[in-house]
Chain A
Amino acid sequence: MVIVLILTIMINLTIGISLYYFLKRRMIIFTDRFGFTSSYVSSSTSGLAISLGLVLLFQNHIEMIGVLNILIGIGFGWLYGSLLNSQSIIAGIYHGGISGMMGTMLGAIVLDPSICGLPESLLSGQNIIVVFALLSVCIQGLSALLLLFSFRA
């Protein structure tokens, strides 16, 4: 289980950083609107996938990992938003921080559904963790593919 989680975090980081270099090469054709949309989409999915993986990996240190997740989301938002101008920086920072908090919340509920009033899930602990880790890779890959596809316009 630990190997799968570390592998998914590495894949998500690789996709996020390579997406930054891909966007930086084509910076010359950005309009205002495309800068907003690209920083919104990429910072949201990167923050969500990486924070979900980190919470599932370090299960006993949710407090420190929550702080770290918000910082990671803000860093990704700053990175993607700094390609264009200040309004895309604001959009990236806001949505990156929000997605970091949401990844922490989703990971805490996956680990223990009774904090939300739900009964225990039918799947055992390790299976549901592995399925959510694979789901984060699917989300990150699909959003990266859609972002590359939208350059054709």
Chain B
Amino acid sequence: MPEWIVIFYPINFLSAYVLYIYLYHRRKRIGFHLGMNISMAAGGGLALGTGIVFINLHPLYFLEATLIAVVIGCITGILFGNLFDYQTILTGFINGLIMGIMAPMVGAVAFEGVLFLIMVEIFIICIFIFVAASAYKA
């Protein structure tokens, strides 16, 4: 696996940070149903990206990959759910946890080539753009 896939970490974290700042000023106008879906998508997407890139960079460290993906998914879900309600915290937390457990197993598929990884990154960025667009309309 080539070494330049490290560049996916800053892309993921920077886009999640921009999304958080964008949502923070509009959080009063977003209802709880849209808020639940936003926290699920953000936590799950960031946990998936982190776990897949980590298991491809260091294939020997399965335990650390699972731990880091779970912790980042839980914290992201709690932070995005904290914008809206108490129950969106719970939903974002549990979805980040399950996606973080599943991410290293999905990342083991991508050992053959780098094309699958690029597609997953495009998917995550598109999910973030859809979330921002739906918050713009609300």
Contact = CB atoms under 8 A, between A and B. Distances in A.
Partners in one complex: yes
Interface of A: 33-34, 37-38, 40-41, 44-45, 48, 99, 102, 105-106, 109-110, 113, 116-123, 128, 131-132, 135, 139, 142-143, 146-147, 149-150, 152-153
B85 A116 contact: no
Given A34-B87, A37-B90, A146-B90, A99 B98 contact: yes
B87 A33 contact: yes
Contact of B108 (A33, A117, A150): A117
Interface residues of B, number: 26
A139 to B, nearest CB: 7
Given A37-B91, A41-B94, A102-B102, A152 B86 contact: yes
A40 B63 contact: no
A146 B67 CA distance: 19
Contact of A121 (B60, B101, B108): B60
Contacts, number: 74
Q: Taking chain B's interface residues, is the majority helix, strand, or loop, or is none over half, making it mixed?
A: helix
Contact of B32 (A33, A102, A142, A150): A33
B108 A118 contact: yes
Nearest to A34: B87
A117 B111 contact: yes
Interface in B62-78: 62-63, 67, 70, 74
A153 B94 contact: no
A100 to B, nearest CB: 12
A146 B98 CA distance: 16
Contacts of B101: 48, 102, 106
B58 to A, nearest CB: 10
Contact of B97 (A109, A110, A123, A139): A139
B129 interface: no
Nearest to A40: B94
A143 B89 contact: no
A64 B65 CA distance: 29
A119 B87 contact: no
Nearest to B33: A33
A121 B61 contact: yes
B14 to A, nearest CB: 27
